[in-house]
Structure 1
Amino acid sequence: MQVSVETTSNIERRMTIGVPAQEIDQAVQKRLQETARTVRLNGFRPGKVPMSVVKRRFGASVRQEVVGEVMRDTYIKALQEQDINPAGWPKLEPTVMEEGKDLEFVATFEVLPEIELGDLSKISVEKLTSEITDKDIDSMIDNLRRQQATMKEVKRKSKNKDIVTIDFKGFIDSEEFEGGAAEGHRLTLGSGQMIPGFEKGIVGGKAGEDLEIEVTFPEDYQNEDLAGKPAKFEIKIHKVEEPQLPELNEEFFKKFGIEAEDEATFREEVKKNMERELKQAVSNKVKNDVVDGLLETTELDIPTALVDQEIDRLRQDAVQRFGGQVDFQQLPKEIFEEQAKRRVKTGLLFQEVVKKNDLKADPAKVDEKIQEIASTYEQPEEVVAHFNSSPEQKSQIESSVLEDQVVDHVLEQAKVKEKKVKYEEAVQAGQPQQG
């Protein structure tokens, strides 16, 4: 076997491999002999078909099959000899494969990039701090009650938090625009579902009334044809409904998995959940800033094969979220491309930080994270035992802890600025970014 490797880009390699003709011919002959023993052809007894007939009938297909196997096997052997770690399967193209001649083929593939981390001291991270107030808890409990509310139709003027059933039709320069009309639309006033000014213009309206409101689409509106433009909406109010909030009692508490006999105990449990959410949000925000900083300070090429694999994972996740009614391959790759690239880059950069600094998951932090997860269940000791008895589950926790340690390592060198914000702002800022 003869091997030569050509570097065609930072991450692409072109490997030319030669295999002696004798090796191919022997493999083809052996396969034809095996075929002769089992093949059934009219006019011949089983196992008695002449080799000349077998070769004439099956020689070309057997040779193609053998060449495919030899290319695969010798490619893998060549990688080991050359100490090359590919990032995905190659494109294999035979250049010489005639009978009696040495086989020659080219394997084109990508390798993981050589990464030179940027200056971590140039990374800026904003670390949010927040306190959960009684008002925050009141607001959370109000939201929980509204999730369980029943609706009662009212004849009064509408107000914020009412649900109105409306028809509406939008106009720009006296002409209807696409997507600007609906019938029987249920809208919670004050929810911010619609563009600024729309819901406010309905507040005070009653069932049976016709309204006309003027609003302006935001400059950053997703539909560029509408962004920044003034519009007029004709609105018909069909119904106004007022939410009937449930009582704060044991039956209500149980709906959220909380065993509490009184409101004070329920509030304490709600606060604990909010504290966990706040901690996670602050952590997410810091991690997002670290990832952004690493991406901005480090240039790297990423293998197409890894991006394609990540796109497929994202497509499969999307199908599962929407009930698995379509084949994931029907979803356009372009929708997920940027998110996939960010994920692949982030993974490679984190791996480089781990390798460069010889980081390993701290067993104490792994146990701490398992305990933290277990504390949210009714039988925490069973959850802890499950993680400790499942290598796969524990490995996922170890990976998560290692990511946290990468973030901590970057923070030691980055510029970190603390900013005090309200609870809602912290939670909103900590929403996971795509990728």
Structure 2
Amino acid sequence: MEYTVEDLSPVKKKVSVTVPVDEVNASLSATIAMYRTSVDLKGFRKGKVPSSVIEGRFKKEVYSEATQDLVNVHINEIIGELNASPVSRIDFDGGELVRDEEFKYSLSFEVLPEFELPNYEGMDVEMEKVVVKDDEVDEVLNRIRGNMAEIVPLAENRPAKDGEIAVLDFAAYENGEAIEGIAAENFQMSLGDKQALEDFENLVKTVAPGESKEGDVTFPADFINPEFAGKTVTMKVTVHSIQERKLPELDDEMARKAGGFESVEKMREAVVQSYKQSRGQLCRSQAQTTMLEGLLKTVDFPLPESMVEMYLENLLQDQKIKVERQGKSIESLGKTPDELRADMRPEAERIAKTQIFLVTAARKEGVEVSEQEVDMQLQQMAMKSGQDFRAVKDYYAQNNLLFGLRDRMLADKAMEAIFEKANITEVEPKELKTEA
């Protein structure tokens, strides 16, 4: 196999490959040999089917697989020899192998740009001290109390208030006709959590147990279901009972029930330690971010478009999920898809520039990511998504995504390597808001 490399741009390469006849025939023979071990044809013993028969009966499959296997071998070899790091899918342009004929094809892909790194050794970086306030710890302990609260019937007969739970039936009507899909029986509605429409919650707060009332409820104009967006309906409500949360005493018994702590003091110490750990990570992350922002201002280089596009798609998907969690649709933002992309592109470019800088720094520092580390990362991803590890790994391999994953892991390691060489000065903290 021979190849030539053409730089289409500072971040894009094209590799033209020529495969001699003997390698073409050898690849076809290897694939046919694999078929012979597994194919079961009538009239032949398994493993004894002549190669000519295999090639005749399964020509389409054999030639396709042989081409794919050969190109994959070449990709790994070429990428290794070029010491290149593709940041995009590797595009293949060519046909299939033909016996006794030379095979030519081309590969094109984007790579990281080359640039000179600034000197970051001994760089002055400020990092906030880790401080945990008493009122923050008290807030966590009260939240634990709330989670352990006993739900009991309300003693007095009155409408529910914020913090209480109303058990009710409800149904929506329009022009006297029931609206399908907006009704429930014995529904437990927690008030004050903003989990329901404000008009509906206000109506429930006027109904005592055993009573029924109705009132108008208007859906917001950006409601996720466009069928009801901006519509006003009549909601009928019957409240069966009201429950309240009875908080336990903050004592040693509660501490034992909450997590097996010996005492309230031990539980408080655990909360403080949790805060210190999470806040310490946050302070370190903030210091690293500030350090990196300063370094990025000193360099400039072209960005691979495929890399920017990947991060742009991720940002758009994150935005879509965010607004849908608020019960709205992406259209509620009042912008066209092109306008949203234009708004988010600077952030996508910033992320791409950061990634490129850190991967380049990783090379300088001699930081590497092993196959075992990649597999561990894929295993964690598989467990988080509830998928099979092998299926996840095969997907990444078949879609040429392993290079990108490895580079992201390299970037994380590079950040730590750069930070370790910085001159760190601890400073008094600003107001940090982090839950333990």
Common topology (TM > 0.5): yes
In structure 1, distance between residues paired with 2:55 and 2:282: 69
In structure 1, distance between residues paired with 2:429 and 2:21: 71
In structure 2, relative to structure 1, the CA distance for the partners of 1:80 and 1:397 (3 Å cut) is closer
The residue number in structure 1 matching 2:72 is: 72
The residue number in structure 1 matching 2:248 is: 246
* Equivalent residue letter for 2:259: G
In structure 2, distance between residues paired with 1:39 and 1:152: 69
In structure 1, distance between residues paired with 2:306 and 2:82: 20
8 A contact 1:195–1:217 mirrored in 2: yes
In structure 2, relative to structure 1, the CA distance for the partners of 1:5 and 1:245 (3 Å cut) is same
8 A contact 1:128–1:420 mirrored in 2: no
The residue number in structure 2 matching 1:427 is: 434
How far 1:253 sits from its partner (Å)? 1.0
How far 1:84 sits from its partner (Å)? 3.2
In structure 1, distance between residues paired with 2:410 and 2:4: 40
The residue number in structure 2 matching 1:382 is: none
1:221-256: CA deviation from partner (whole Å, max 9, x where unpaired):
656777788776543322101222233343421233
The residue number in structure 1 matching 2:111 is: 111
Work out the percentage of aligned pairs sharing the same amino acid: 24
Alignment of 1:9-408 (within 5 A): 11-25=11-25, 66-87=66-87, 90-95=90-95, 97-112=97-112, 132-134=133-135, 136-154=136-154, 155-157=156-158, 158-169=160-171, 181-196=183-198, 198-199=200-201, 202-203=204-205, 205-212=207-214, 233-261=235-263, 263-279=264-280, 300-301=303-304, 303=306, 345=352, 348-349=355-356, 351-352=358-359, 354-355=361-362, 358=365, 403=415
8 A contact 1:130–1:420 mirrored in 2: no
How far 1:148 sits from its partner (Å)? 1.6
TM-score, normalised to structure 2, is 0.55
- Gaps (5+ residues) in structure 2? 121-125, 318-340, 369-407
User: What SS does the aligned partner of 1:256 have?
Assistant: helix
How far 1:191 sits from its partner (Å)? 2.3
8 A contact 1:210–1:236 mirrored in 2: yes
In structure 2, relative to structure 1, the CA distance for the partners of 1:114 and 1:167 (3 Å cut) is farther
How far 1:151 sits from its partner (Å)? 1.6
In structure 2, distance between residues paired with 1:141 and 1:231: 42
In structure 2, distance between residues paired with 1:206 and 1:37: 78
* Equivalent residue letter for 2:434: V
1:5-29: CA deviation from partner (whole Å, max 9, x where unpaired):
3455665543221112244346656
8 A contact 1:112–1:303 mirrored in 2: no
User: What SS does the aligned partner of 1:248 have?
Assistant: coil
In structure 2, relative to structure 1, the CA distance for the partners of 1:402 and 1:75 (3 Å cut) is closer
In structure 2, relative to structure 1, the CA distance for the partners of 1:189 and 1:278 (3 Å cut) is farther
In structure 1, distance between residues paired with 2:151 and 2:19: 78
In structure 1, distance between residues paired with 2:130 and 2:281: 12
In structure 2, relative to structure 1, the CA distance for the partners of 1:226 and 1:113 (3 Å cut) is farther
TM-score, normalised to structure 1, is 0.55
1:260-299: CA deviation from partner (whole Å, max 9, x where unpaired):
33x4554444444445455556666777889999999987
In structure 2, distance between residues paired with 1:397 and 1:26: 38
In structure 2, relative to structure 1, the CA distance for the partners of 1:76 and 1:143 (3 Å cut) is closer
In structure 2, relative to structure 1, the CA distance for the partners of 1:93 and 1:274 (3 Å cut) is closer
In structure 1, distance between residues paired with 2:28 and 2:414: 50
In structure 2, relative to structure 1, the CA distance for the partners of 1:30 and 1:245 (3 Å cut) is closer
User: What SS does the aligned partner of 1:15 have?
Assistant: strand
In structure 1, distance between residues paired with 2:67 and 2:204: 73
User: What SS does the aligned partner of 1:206 have?
Assistant: coil
In structure 2, relative to structure 1, the CA distance for the partners of 1:292 and 1:109 (3 Å cut) is same
In structure 2, relative to structure 1, the CA distance for the partners of 1:130 and 1:249 (3 Å cut) is closer
- Gaps (5+ residues) in structure 1? 315-336, 362-395, 431-435
In structure 2, distance between residues paired with 1:293 and 1:224: 45
In structure 2, distance between residues paired with 1:397 and 1:108: 24
Number of matched residues? 357
In structure 2, distance between residues paired with 1:78 and 1:104: 15
In structure 1, distance between residues paired with 2:38 and 2:109: 38
* Equivalent residue letter for 2:76: I
How far 1:164 sits from its partner (Å)? 1.2
